[in-house]
Structure 1
Amino acid sequence: MPSIVGAKALVTTSCSTGRSPRQLVRPAYAAISRGAATSLVAYAHATGLDAVHSYRQILWPDGSPYLEPRYPWVHDPRDAESVYTLMCERGIWKSGTNILRDRAAPGWVAPFRSSTELRASDPLFMVDQNTWLVRRALATEHGFPERYSEDDPMVDMAPDDKFLRRLLEARVPIAGTGEPTIRYYLGGISN
């Protein structure tokens, strides 16, 4: 029997954009900075895309910037440093800052691994669920998964990874605003 693991408490906010209803999807431990929803809606309109996302500012629970040279979701310190370095080299993490540039490699490229399992030769697939603005019909069609295999926790396959994979498999065009408008507080359910 499949088990349900790693589910995050979702807070959804509907955004009326004329005839194109969209939803902001974010877990309870993230905060949207002033103007984030507006910039996401404007970017969706400008690009004509049904799935857009922003970047994140990674913060300690007290609100101070996370500046450690380690990827905070990898528990082994050496592996955390390796993943952080790889992400900096590939432009995902802006070295010396708390800015994480979520992104999805264009098109479907196998293998699909979570960011904590990332290898040097892997394509980059990482869009956290709290950074999305997705057209409601697209979210309904592809939705966040509710069932997980017994192997998913072993490879750290979380809801946001599975949702992104569904979108990539369906060849849904995805783009990021380039703005770090999500304040992501460490210490939540995923840490």
Structure 2
Amino acid sequence: MLIIFIICILALNPIAATENSSDWKTQKVENVNFKLAPQYENGELVNSKYYTIKNMFIFSIRYIDSDSFLKSSYGDDASSEDTHYIKNKNIKGHNSSIIYQERNIDGVKYNTTYIYFPIKDEIYCISYNGSNITQDIEEMIKNTPKQTMSEKKFYSKLTHATVSYEYSQREENSYNDYYYRTPYQYNNQNKNQWGKYYLAYSLGRSSRYYY
């Protein structure tokens, strides 16, 4: 009978952290008050849009205040070679995109999960050390205001951010290839270019077809 009683108690109270979340410390990040699980309380509000413990690979809450910031943050995370997986999930009524990365920075290994999700009509990102979505992280998201941004708009913004980031990277690589080539490559291209002009002249065609 004692075992049955204990099982019933556990069934009614599966998550101890959830029971006590009303007592969690509150931290405002831009327009939202976040309830912080105890292990995330002793952080620093770097500015009104960024709360962190040590760095974003350990723990952070970021307010994504613009499409350009979404491009440089989500776009970079989604395109990174360090990313092991990306998956979409509804977490406590919030659409989300979850990115898991493993990276080595200056000899320090980080296993970091990034969760991008909407609060009202704005996007925030919680990142933390670990590969699993913990009950405390879910509870923190649950305690934020409901999203008013539609699911379609949210995921469209993420897709656009990723495409824009990858395009800008290709443009930057092309720029670097052009301006940082060796003198031999530059001179050789000039010779080839003059050869194209001469061929165009000889054939009586516009040189634009050979440029």
TM-score, normalised via structure 1 length: 0.23
- Where relative contact order (Cα < 8 A, 6+ residues apart) is larger, the structure is 1
Structure number having the greater strand percentage: 2
TM-score, normalised via structure 2 length: 0.21
Structure showing greater Rg: 2
Structure number having the greater helix percentage: 2
